[in-house]
Amino acid sequence: MKRKIFNILTIVALMTFTQSCDSYLDTPAPSLSDAVFFSSDDAAINALAGAYDPMAWYGSMQLDDWAIGDVTSDDAEKGGENEGDQADIQALATFSANAENGVILGRWKDRYIGINRANKVLEGVTDNEKISEKVRTRVIAEAKFLRAFYMFELVKVFGGVPIVTKVLSPSEYTLPRNTEEECWAQIEKDLKEAIPALPRKSELLDAGEIGRASWGAAKALLTKAYIFQQKWSEADKEAGEIINSGEYSLDPDYEHIFTLDADNGVESVWDIQYGDFQIGGWDRDNEGTTVCIFTRGRDNGGWGFVCPTQDLYDAFEPNDPRREATIIKEGDVLWAGTEDEEEFYIDAQNPTGYNSRKHILPVSQQGQMSEDPLNWHYIRFAEVLLWQAEARAHTGGDWQEPLNKVRARVGLGQTPYSDPLEAVYHERRVELACEAHRYWDIVRTGRGEDILGKFGYSENKKYFLIPQIEINLNPNLEQNPY
């Protein structure tokens, strides 16, 4: 099932869409005019590959998603060699980050680079008769999906941000922030326009197609947008259409989800693609993910970050097999009976006594230069079921059916929680633990001060500070309180 999207075609696209200036809005002129570049179907697809690329960069799912989603929550502590190791992440975890924080800067810049590239594709392809109607329709749909994805990733971190739906001229580099409501409306618009033109996952049969945006991926991102906005009826409807489509199912083996064999598998609604092409480089040049080396314990050749807390360990029911598939403790043996059999040790610097399990590979499958080929499951089918359960818990529908499907997969009976929301919150925590969801689940449901207050959280810190360099470049950007 493994395939890196468009593989080397991305390199071609980057030759035209490289961005290296300080401001996310400042785009250098391409080496070829748009009229020359967007001259064929292949050129349009090459450019589209460049728009996908930023989502897989080092500062994206490889670093900032778990740095915020897990370490800033009550599910994990930072870990590493000491508090000064990845100090920017420690500042996030203690809610003491300033506007110079490098993790947050990467989130802002890389997402706007992605938006800019999507806009370049849209402007180059729309009404371009040199490109066939079939390719043009699909490329436009994928570019709108990508623009919505990057915007979603900005809004959940910063709240309202400037909406950019075209390649800007220098006179437009000082756009003010739009409201959060306006941003959500743009995300919804892009996704609704993209969905009808995108293929079903089952139609992505060619190896080069696997990993491209599908009908289900766009539907799921729209569902997620509704969940964040508390549009419960709309979320229930969209989730139901995904569930009833027959395109996805729960992997019968929970532990198998986090293996190479399960990349783009039956449970994957949307994967961020990684591969081991051994082309060298770091940061924006790498094609593999560094999550594996970050989370592997220091005494087992890793860097020892994302250390699950005792509170998370205790949140699992005693007979829940997901705990062992999520958390490593001293003396655990992985891949027993194979050439990769390995006993794990907890190093002295580990602050909790546990390591994260989900995103590490056996030695024989690891990539080069600390970059592994394991995909990041951005949306799993289990989460779609839990979205439906959460939506119905608010509207009075049957929340137990979808929730108990998730539990039945791991051999558990009905939830022990009688309160619908308490049941959903518990199930999301243990099902999706160490997958970068916990912080967002806490703050979007209004439980931030109750759960994270002891770490320094307050409601004015729900959104993070806009990078100071962007404030300096654009005086019309109003800073968030923090």
The values of phi and psi at residue 333, to 5°, are -110, 125
- Pick the closest to residue 239 from 395, 375, 111 (CA basis): 395
Residue 41, pLDDT above cutoff 90: yes
Strand ranges inside 267-407, DSSP E = 268-272, 305-308, 327-328, 333-334, 342-343, 355-356, 376-380
* Predicted TM-score (pTM) of this structure: 0.93
Number of separate domains in the chain: 1
HSE-CB of 452 using CA atoms within 13 angstroms: 32
- Evaluate whether residue 256 is within a structural domain: no
Specify if 11 maps to a domain: yes
Q: What are phi and psi of 378, to 5 degrees?
A: -70, -40
* Residue 225, domain member (yes or no): no
Model pLDDT for residues 166-187, shown as the tens digit of each residue: 999 888 889 999 999 999 999 9
Task: Note down the domain range covering 136.
Answer: 1-197+457-482
Q: Which of 240-249, 278-287, 334-343, 384-393 has the lowest mean pLDDT?
A: 278-287
Q: Which two tokens stand for residue 279?
A: 């082309």
pLDDT at 327 over 70: yes
Residue 135 corresponds to which tokens in the numbers above?
Answer: 């390719």
Give the helix ranges, DSSP H, for 286-337: 291-295, 310-315, 322-326
Q: Which of 29-43, 95-109, 220-234, 355-369 has the lowest mean pLDDT?
A: 29-43
Query: In angstroms, rounded to a whole number, what is the distance separating the alpha carbons of residues 273 and 56?
Result: 7
pLDDT at 261 over 50: yes
Query: Residue 411 falls within a domain, yes or no?
Result: no
Instruction: Specify if 208 maps to a domain.
Output: no
What is the 3-class SS of 225-270, one letter each residue? HHHHHCCHHHHHHHHHHHHHCCCCCCCCCHHHHHCHHHCCCCCEEE
Task: For residue 119, give the CATH number of its domain.
Answer: 1.25.40.390
Nearest to residue 308, comparing CAs of 318, 322, 319?
322
| Domain membership flag for residue 17 | yes
Q: Is 223 exposed, middle or buried (0-12, 13-18, 19+ CB in 10 A)?
A: buried
Within-domain flag for 174 = yes
Q: Is residue 378 part of a domain?
A: no
- Virtual torsion, Cα 320, 323, 329, 331, nearest 10 deg: 50
